Amino acid sequence: MNNYETVFILNPVLSEQQVKETVSKFEDFLTSKGAKMVAKEDWGLKKMAYEIQHKKSGFYHLFQFEAAGDIISSFETEFRRDERVMRFLTVTLDKHAVSWAERRREKLKSKA
């Protein structure tokens, strides 16, 4: 099992319900393939540095999860097929990135 982090941007014209459904769809996909969700964050509607599909903002979401390497290609294929997703990026986390992400989450919890 490897550690991964995926950030994806959803179309800003979606309703709150549609955003929740989309996030739930990708989370369900991961768990159905045996992945373990470590953390997920909703960063909300943010302005982007440059336009994507003629849009200047998007709903940002982050998933951190543990999964076997062979499901990543099918996970990214699901992103490509969904027209609500404007961009996505999945990276493999090494042990230093995992510990940094844990510290960042703890810091966010203490602020809340």
- Total domain count, the chain: 1
DSSP string, 3-47: EEEEEEEE-TTS-HHHHHHHHHHHHHHHHHTT-EEEEEEEEEEEE
Q: What's the rounded Cα separation, in Å, for the pair 17 and 7? A: 19
CATH number at residue 66: 3.30.70.60
Per-residue pLDDT tens digits for 27-45: 999 999 999 999 999 999 9
Confidence of residue 105 (pLDDT cuts 50, 70, 90): confident
Three-state secondary structure call for residue 70: helix
- Residue 5 pLDDT > 90, yes or no? yes
Question: What pLDDT, on the 0 to 100 scale, is given for residue 106?
Answer: 87
Closest CA to 43 of 70, 63, 24, 26: 63
Q: What is the band of 56 on the pLDDT scale with cuts at 50, 70, 90?
A: very high
Q: Residue 100 sits in which domain range?
A: 2-111
pLDDT band of 46, cuts 50, 70, 90: very high
Percent of the chain topping pLDDT 70:
99
